[in-house]
Amino acid sequence: MDWIRAELSAIEQAGLLRKRRLRENLKDFCSNDYLGLRNHPEVIKAAREALKEYGLGSGASQLVSGYTKLHKELEEALARFKGTPACVLFGSGYLANIGVIPVLAKEGDLILSDQLNHASLIDGCRLSKAEKIVFKHKDYEELRGILEKFRESYRNVLIVTDSVFSMEGDTADVKELYKISEEYDCLLYIDDAHGTGTLGRGRGILEKENLKWKERVILMGTLSKALGSYGAFVCAGEELIELIVNRARSLIFTTSLPPSLCAGALKAIKLIEENPNMISQLKERTRKVYNSLNKLPYEIRYYGTPIIPIIVGDERKTMEISSFLLKKSIFLQGIRYPAVPKGSARLRLTVSLRYEEEDIEELLNILNKV
Ligand SMILES: Cc1ncc(COP(=O)(O)O)c(C=O)c1O
């Protein structure tokens, strides 16, 4: 079994060894719970009631007996929230992406994928038998060039993008992608994991860009970020959702979400619909945090989303800073290759309504000392 030690030691020598940290007693500045809904009393109450009524696990796949009234209600709420005809739930964002992309693009098709797409999208592309081309991050001229050259040689072409790029915080130009997908007759798959609950009045990237859903658009999102729960969803036209239910292996061959998580997410959507000012508060707080961070001697990137990367560059140095912060009970995870390109290691700060002003001041003071 020497190979195991050798492999671990190679990872360590490259400064890339990862350890999980217990979050207990730490101030958490790196979760994706942007609106603080995972601890919201009404969300907890809804989940607790579902737990009492349905028990802990869902018991089976959606296609066997794991589909309850709560799953159905959540799908209907999400379809309404996102402005699409239909929706289907998945066990997680990772499962949604690896399950749906191979349904949309098969042998004889082409996938065009943004270079900075999330790993789960990359793995979904890898599982598909379609040809794949990665285009430079947000380089839509390059994307047009590829389509100009190759569109006619393929049956379906699927463009895949994050709405908010998870490690950078910038957003895709979805208006331009709408145009391109129409001009070249492509399907457009948008992973709105970090846009849901943070962009527009909370409905995500289409709302922010004033765009209406179109049949060629597949909108994926997660329940695990601003919605404070766990799980994911895919919103699209009715027939496509039916096809996904029949073909996506990561939906068919896995146990469905526990009903209590659906109940919590349902309540979270309701809270966002009723209090859109939560999103403006988040935006306001993000701007404030950025303005304060920007006084520090680091490269800070800011795109108006609650993901603010503090770029350090060197992998080892990034982890040293992260460890130093841990000693001060601050949890700000260092992000390294392969999550981001080599030499662009960073501390990925996420802004949340969960923090108090004093928490942010404390963080800034400590970062100043680093
Ligand atoms: C853009 C994006 N898509 C998908 C996922 C996967 O979602 P989940 O954590 O629910 O598996 C994540 C993060 O985890 C993400 O950042």
> Over the stretch 8-41, which tens digit does the pLDDT of each residue have?
999 998 878 888 988 888 999 999 999 999 999 9
Distance 193 CA to ligand 1 centre (A): 6
Q: Which atom of ligand 1 is nearest to the CA of 94?
A: 11
Whether residue 323 lies in the annotated active site: no
Region of residue 244 (left: phi > 0; alpha: psi -120 to 50; beta: else): alpha
Evaluate if residue 78 carries a pLDDT over 90: yes
The reply to whether ligand 1 has any atom less than 6 angstroms from the CB of 257 is no
Does position 110 have pLDDT exceeding 90, yes or no? yes
Q: Report the SS3 class of residue 146.
A: helix
- For 238-264, what is the mean pLDDT? 98
What is the atom index within ligand 1 of the atom nearest the CA of 95? 11
Residue of 58, 225, 322, 352 marked active site: 225
Count CB neighbours of 299 within 10 A: 13
Question: Rounded CA gap, 107 and 121, in Å?
Answer: 18
pLDDT band for 298, please (50, 70, 90 cuts).
confident
Asked if the model's pLDDT at residue 207 lies above 90, the reply is yes
For residue 170, what are the CA distances in angstroms to 22, 184, 185?
29, 25, 26
Q: What is the mean pLDDT of residues 228-256?
A: 98
Identify whether 40 is a catalytic site residue.
Answer: no
Asked if residue 315 has its Cβ within 6 Å of ligand 1, the reply is no
Rounded-to-integer distance, Cα 2 and Cα 11, Å: 14
Q: What is the mean predicted confidence (pLDDT) over 239-268?
A: 98
369 pLDDT band, cuts 50/70/90, is confident
Q: Ligand 1, residues 123, 162, 205, 224: which to mutate, most atoms within 8 A of Cβ?
A: 224
Q: Is the CB of 162 under 6 A from ligand 1?
A: yes
Q: In this predicted structure, which of 52-61, 120-129, 258-267, 329-338 has the lowest mean pLDDT?
A: 329-338
What is the model's pLDDT at position 23?
A: 86
pLDDT higher than threshold 90 for residue 368: no
Domains of the chain: 18-34+276-369 (3.90.1150.10), 41-274 (3.40.640.10)
Whose Cα sits closest to atom 14 in ligand 1?
93
Confidence at residue 360, expressed as pLDDT on a 0 to 100 scale: 87
β-strand pairing of 345-350 with 307-313 = antiparallel
Average pLDDT over residues 326-342: 90
% of the chain exceeding 90 in pLDDT:
88
Neighbouring CB atoms inside 10 A of 144's CB total: 17
120 lines ligand 1 (CB under 6 A): yes
Confidence at residue 370, expressed as pLDDT on a 0 to 100 scale: 82
Helices (H), 128-197: 140-150, 174-183
